[in-house]
Amino acid sequence: MLLSSAQIDSAEPWLSHLRKSRPANRVDSLSSAGTPGFCAPETSTGTLSSASDVFSFGMIAYSLATGLRPFQDQLDGHVSPSEHIQKLLAQGQRPTVPSGNSEQWQTRLLDLAVQCWAQNAADRPTINDIKL
């Protein structure tokens, strides 16, 4: 949650302040179907469904649990990061799930994320199946 200095004084929380926002990096805005790394593999062929949203939810869950962007550790030196990410997803690769001293909520969220990343859209849970 982001707060402006005026909001801190008045204690009115904001989730974001769009006038001050900017892209994390330019490649994120190049995909017409969404943010590279968060899009399901089938989006590269133009096939979108609620299962594609579940895949994206899994990537968001991963980011929340780890504090990392999907594939952030695999992008160094690539001229076109979004193309590289699409290639990794098409090959069935997924972000590295850290092991070690995670809180119980992080472990549960990462387990859920992995379920949402199934290569075959039909193998992903539905949004109604998702529970923590």
**pLDDT tens digits for range 19-58:** 444 454 443 333 455 788 889 999 888 888 999 999 999 9
Average the pLDDT over each of 8-12, 56-60, 68-72, 74-78 and give the range with the smallest value: 8-12
Position 88, amino acid = L
- Tokens matching residue 18: 């769009």
Q: Rounded to two decimals, what is the model's pTM? A: 0.68
Is the Cβ–Cβ distance between 68 and 95 less than 8 Å? yes
CB 122 within 8 A of CB 51: yes
Q: How far apart are CA 61 and CA 14, in angstroms?
A: 21
Cα torsion angle, 43, 96, 128, 106, sign: negative
